[in-house]
């Protein structure tokens, strides 16, 4: 069991290094370098040359990668080429914001999705099931920017309940913070709800076909208790899997929502620096995103191993 977990973690680290190589290679292939992107329209040959010299862009690519990797392992993310700010500091603030938003969206959407999934199974093919499925499928079918604009129009412009601009800052009290992120949390919840809800429903229905469920019913348990005690524990692995995928999405894939609500998260930060070819920042963000993705998948794997005795005690 512990060996299995250690294996998985080692594999995860290896994947992470591979991902960072890919990201570095990707930023090298993009047209134009950081000096050109910083100076943009106002570049002159002299200013380009002086900026390249200053930023150390004249060293070979492999050396630049290795320099970066060593510093990164030592906890030094370096400074941004474009504005000279400390990357560690900027990323910490941005990552904190991203996790804050993702955390509240998850806290709202995961229990809701699982509860609605259970409810759907309980009332399978009856009105509540159809309503839940219909509404959640509708919300996943609409693009997130559209849902965002709809909410802005009705809740921010017309009713003025929530601010349309979710500019978060550290010195706000918690209540104020929650009000500020209310709209993006709603959008994200609507976007990830359907996937998790449908998976919960499907996984439990699958288990419900089993003979031991019939036995449980025959011994007189209430339908909801049958689902809760017998079906759900056996369906947990696929549900955890899909929950983790959605959590990872909430952390790494919400650039559109960040742009619409002007939320100071990691996505916008990374996109800005990609367009400026600011390799150290892109590297740092990319590696963190990869770590989140790999980490959450690792957790999903471990949970499914733990929850399944057959995997826990391999022959």
Residues that bind another protein (CB under 8 A): 30-32, 36-44, 46-47, 49-51, 80, 82-85, 90, 149, 152-153, 156-157, 160, 163-165, 167, 169, 259-262, 264, 268-269, 272-273, 275-276, 278
* Nearer CB in complex with another protein: 278/301: 278
Q: How far, in Å, CA of 15 to CA of 291, rounded?
A: 9
Beta carbon of residue 145, minimum distance to another protein (angstroms, whole number): 8
Cα–Cα–Cα angle for 99, 105, 108, rounded to 5 degrees: 135
Residue 202 Cβ vs another protein, minimum distance, rounded to whole Å: 36
Residue with tokens 């995928």: 245
Query: Rounded to the nearest 5°, which phi and psi values hold at 30?
Result: -55, 145
Q: At closest approach, how far in Å is the CB of 307 from another protein?
A: 41
Distance CA 20, CA 71 (A): 13
Quick one: 229 exposed, middle or buried, by C-beta within 10 A (0-12, 13-18, 19+)? exposed
Backbone dihedral angles phi then psi of residue 265, each to the nearest 5 degrees:
-105, -170
Q: How far is the CB of 39 from another protein (least distance, A)?
A: 7
- Nearer to another protein by Cβ, of 128 and 143: the residue is 143
Contact call for residues 87 and 281 (beta carbons, < 8 A): yes
User: Looking at beta carbons only, is 76 or 272 nearer to another protein?
Assistant: 272
Radius of gyration over alpha carbons of the chain, in Å?
A: 24
Nearest CB to another protein, comparing residues 208 and 282: 282
Contact 230, 213 (CB under 8 A): yes
Q: Which is nearer to another protein, 262 or 302 (CB)?
A: 262
Select from 194, 198, 206, 193 the least CA-distant residue to 232. 206
Minimum distance, C-beta of residue 188 to another protein, in the bound complex (Å): 16
Closer Cβ to another protein, 157 or 218, answer by number:
157
């Amino acid at each position: 069991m512990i060996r299995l977990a250690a294996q998985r973690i080692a594999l995860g680290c290896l994947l992470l290094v591979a991902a960072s190589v890919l990201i570095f290679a990707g930023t090298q292939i993009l047209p134009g370098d950081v000096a050109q992107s910083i100076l943009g329209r106002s570049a002159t040959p002299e200013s380009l040359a002086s900026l390249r010299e200053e930023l150390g862009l004249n060293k070979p690519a492999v050396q630049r990668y290795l320099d970066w990797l060593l510093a990164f392992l030592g906890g030094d993310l370096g400074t941004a080429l474009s504005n000279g700010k400390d990357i560690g500091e900027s990323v910490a603030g941005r990552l904190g914001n991203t996790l804050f938003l993702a955390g509240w969206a998850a806290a709202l959407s995961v229990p809701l999705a699982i509860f609605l999934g259970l409810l759907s199974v309980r009332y399978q093919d009856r009105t509540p099931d159809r309503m839940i499925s219909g509404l959640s499928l509708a919300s996943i079918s609409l693009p997130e920017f559209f849902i965002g604009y709809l909410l802005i129009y009705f809740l921010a412009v017309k009713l003025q309940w929530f601010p349309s601009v979710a500019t978060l800052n550290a010195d706000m009290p918690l209540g104020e913070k929650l009000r500020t992120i209310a709209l993006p949390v709603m959008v994200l919840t609507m976007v990830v709800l359907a996937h998790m809800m449908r998976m919960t429903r499907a996984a439990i229905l699958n288990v419900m076909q089993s003979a031991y469920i019939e036995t449980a019913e025959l011994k007189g348990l209430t339908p909801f208790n049958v689902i809760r005690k017998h079906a759900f524990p056996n369906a947990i692995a696929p549900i955890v899997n899909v929950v983790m995928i959605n959590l990872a999405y909430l952390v790494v894939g919400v650039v559109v929502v960040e742009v619409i609500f002007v939320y100071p998260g990691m996505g916008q930060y990374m996109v800005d620096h990609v367009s400026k070819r600011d390799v150290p920042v892109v590297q740092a963000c990319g590696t963190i995103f990869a770590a989140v993705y790999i980490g959450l998948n690792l957790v999903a794997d471990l949970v499914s191993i733990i929850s399944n005795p057959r995997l826990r005690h391999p022959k």
